[in-house]
Amino acid sequence: MRTDSSLALAKERHLAGDLAGARTLYEVVLADEPANADVMFRLGVLGLQCAAYDDALTWLDRAIALAPQTSRYAFARGQVLAAMQRFDDAIAAYRTLLAFDSTSADLWFALGSALQASGDLRAAAAAYTSAAALDPTQIDALNNLGNCHRQLGEATLAQDAYRRVLDTDPQHASALTNLGTLLLASGARNAAIDLLTQAVTVAPDMPSCLLNLGVALYEARRFDEAATWLARTLEREPHFPEAAYNFGNALAALGRRSEAHRQYRAAIALDPQHADAYNNLGNVCKELGEYQAAAQAFDAAIQARPAFIAAHNNAGNLMRALRKTADAEAHFRAALAIDAQHSASHNNLGNLLKDCGALDEGMLHYRQAIQADPRNVVAHSNLAYALTFQAERGDAVLAECRNWSAQHEAPLRAARLPHTNDRTSNRRLRIGYVGADFREHCQSLFTVPLFSHHDHAHFEIYCYASVERPDALTQRLAGYADVWRDVRALDDERLAQQIRADGIDILVDLAMHMADGRPLLFARKPAPVQVAWLAYPGTTGIEAIDYRLTDAQLDPVAPEPDARDAHYTERSVRLADSFWCYDPLTDVPTVNALPVLTTEQITFGCLNNPCKLTDRTLAMWSAVLREVTGSRLLLMAPAGTAHRHLAQRMERQGIDPQRVGFVPFQPRADYLRTYHQIDLGLDTFPYNGHTTSLDSFWMGVPVVTRVGETAVGRGGLSQLVNLGMRELAADSDAAFVRIAVELAMDRSRLAQLRSVLRQRMEQSPLMDGARFAQSMEAAYRDMWQTWCTG
């Protein structure tokens, strides 16, 4: 009787969770009945529950020795082996049992679990299928079956399994979450969010459910909602690194960078090997201007995950921004060593090589990026833009831009909606400017004089800014706008919706195919009239852009109607004087005396990007240097590879590298001061200097230009004509050499030009902001009247 009552009490304690009390009572029973296999079995189960696996095996082996035909003893032994991660032994034990009885759903389920844990997903799926067939209510088997199919890449079969679970139990939180995340991965975001919301309703305190809903909302770019749910996840489980990491992502997307920084740090504190958190921490540090911390974070990400391609690319882009070209190239090539077909890595390496003047190799990588991923719109834009530096005629650029349109714009045309703007021709118009460079950037040298002179009585100015790090100039530009929108967090589709909601009449693109442009926004046609201006005076190839602004020098009216305009998909609108209106935004440094008067050595200079230094350009410069004995040449290029590459190319064109000096890319004040060393500027061809030539004139340094056939090759001509200095524009290579040599030898003329150029600039249309704004606004009004009349 004492044994029976002790055993009953032991079972009661065991069920109640009093494992220590149950063990004591089981041992009392065993002292009275040393051969009680059932008590040994229960002690084995208790050992499993307490993770005392060796003790559990000992007890179960003793029980099996006494009752070898009792399958539940052997089954429990298999579970202990699985808990010890001795999966092969557990699988063997389960298979032995199934050989005698294959009708146990629980046994098939246990076998499936062990097979899944061992990595044999195909066999695990078969076992779970058997378990579910024997017991249709075994929904955990169906749920795990779905997980196996998912891991095997069989999304349709996985969905079917999860849906079978939900047919039986619509409130199964795990199946709701699994199906929701599967749909999210397939791109069905709305359906995924519905399921994950149901999961949270069923299990409002389950951190995994909260996390997955937050991630889904983030991927749907519903960042405010995502942040709310991810914050709630951390409230429920503060020590959840994935929650902190994803909360950081949502905060970063909302522009709350400092808070995102804290969350990434929290994720890393919880999981010091969290490579993704390190990588995104690096991105936030870069945006905050904490470049050393960013570099350290990217290095930590790569150390945690050596094959982390994204971290290599982010580190490379940081090094490129810091002008550490050798380090940048090493990272991009490391990424390509991991995946030779990685499109973004080819694109980034192409950018770096272009910066260093290795344009041919850079374009090769752009083409490889496009071949690896035809949807890589950034690489395709980079290729189209890079072609402008080489093309002496407009045909090649136009053809590539048309290719761009066919690949990226055409799929968006069917979704365009008609515009309902009021067609009153003389009403106040809403003009929208789209750009990422409303900041301390060369683009602001042209937007400030325009924006500061707009007629707000007749034009309502909207700016759609995607500025990564706003500064004082951002604030200044914002002050010129009637409406300023920070749209960096908006994708192209949502921004298009915002522009439509704002009722913009004329939308102006300031970047086109250049860095941080948004050509896919314009391809959606959010405004009835769309215009390209400023970044470069070529073609976009985008059918949805109606007009391009130019001037009569960049695009002289051809003898045959539309012959020249055939190089553009847009209609050309020639402004009254100039495509550009310039404001240096500073009075310092002042113009100095002609350097040669002190040095007795003529210094030619060109501070254009090395990608403009074509062999044709170097050949012309070589001829100039041969004629002007003792002269030297000053160029701008990043140190290291770029210097060596340019020196080799110049030597092949007959230029002695000893006569060439280099300055690095510099802050604007230091860059302008470099002109104090230059007597005469030499332009590039077939892409002339544009901003750099205006800077040169401002600093009193005249520039000899070579006139080409393309608009970018006629920028020097346009500026010189507006300065009344057409004689410095050469129509042939020989004329370029002659003009440069004659001017270099005439020190008195050079000195006289240096003394008056800044004043001449200030009195020219090139710096008359009011005149330029009126010309732009007249063009806008004509465009609008054309649209109003259909």
pLDDT digits (tens, 9 = 90+) for 302-342: 999 999 999 999 999 999 999 899 999 999 999 999 999 99
Percentage, residues of the chain above pLDDT 90 = 83
Q: What is the distance between the alpha carbons of residues 750 and 763, in angstroms, rounded to a whole number?
A: 20
Q: How far apart are the first and last CA of the chain?
A: 103
Give the angle 322-328-332 at the CA atoms, nearest 5°: 145
DSSP, res 657: G
**Residue 559 predicted with pLDDT over 70:** no
- Average pLDDT on 462-484 reads 96
Beta carbons of 246 and 214 less than 8 angstroms apart: yes
As its CATH architecture, domain 428-575 has: 3-Layer(aba) Sandwich (3.40)
**Residue 563 predicted with pLDDT over 90:** no
**Residue 560 predicted with pLDDT over 80:** no
**With bands split at pLDDT 50, 70 and 90, how would you rate the model's confidence at 507?**
very high
Mean pLDDT across the chain: 94
Q: Which residues contact 366 (CB under 8 A, 6 or more apart)?
A: 346, 347, 350, 379, 380, 382, 383, 386
Beta carbons of 60 and 66 less than 8 angstroms apart: no
Residue 681 sits at φ, ψ, to 5 deg, of -90, 140
Output the pTM of the full model.
0.88
Pinpoint the alpha helices (H) of 706-746. 715-722, 733-745
CATH no. for 2-215:
1.25.40.10
The residue with greater pLDDT, 771 or 10, is 771
- Average pLDDT on 549-568 reads 82
**Residue 386 predicted with pLDDT over 80:** yes
**With bands split at pLDDT 50, 70 and 90, how would you rate the model's confidence at 101?**
confident
Query: 150: helix, coil or strand?
Result: helix
- Average pLDDT on 155-176 reads 94
Angle, helix 343-355 to helix 309-321, in steps of 10 degrees: 20
Respond yes or no on whether the N-terminal peptide bond of residue 664 is cis (omega within 30° of 0): no
**Residue 241 predicted with pLDDT over 60:** yes
pLDDT digits (tens, 9 = 90+) for 347-378: 999 999 999 999 999 999 999 999 999 999 99
Q: What is the distance between the alpha carbons of residues 94 and 113, in angstroms, rounded to a whole number?
A: 11
**pLDDT confidence of residue 551:** 97
pLDDT digits (tens, 9 = 90+) for 699-752: 999 999 999 999 999 999 999 999 999 999 999 999 999 999 999 999 999 999
**pLDDT confidence of residue 2:** 61
Classify domain 596-767 at the CATH topology level. Rossmann fold (3.40.50)
Closest CA to 511 of 568, 567, 546, 465: 465
**Residue 469 predicted with pLDDT over 90:** no
The residue with greater pLDDT, 100 or 367, is 367
**pLDDT confidence of residue 562:** 54
The residue with greater pLDDT, 677 or 61, is 677
CATH 1.25.40.10 intervals, the chain:
2-215
CATH 3.40.50.2000 intervals, the chain:
596-767
CATH 3.40.50.11380 intervals, the chain:
428-575
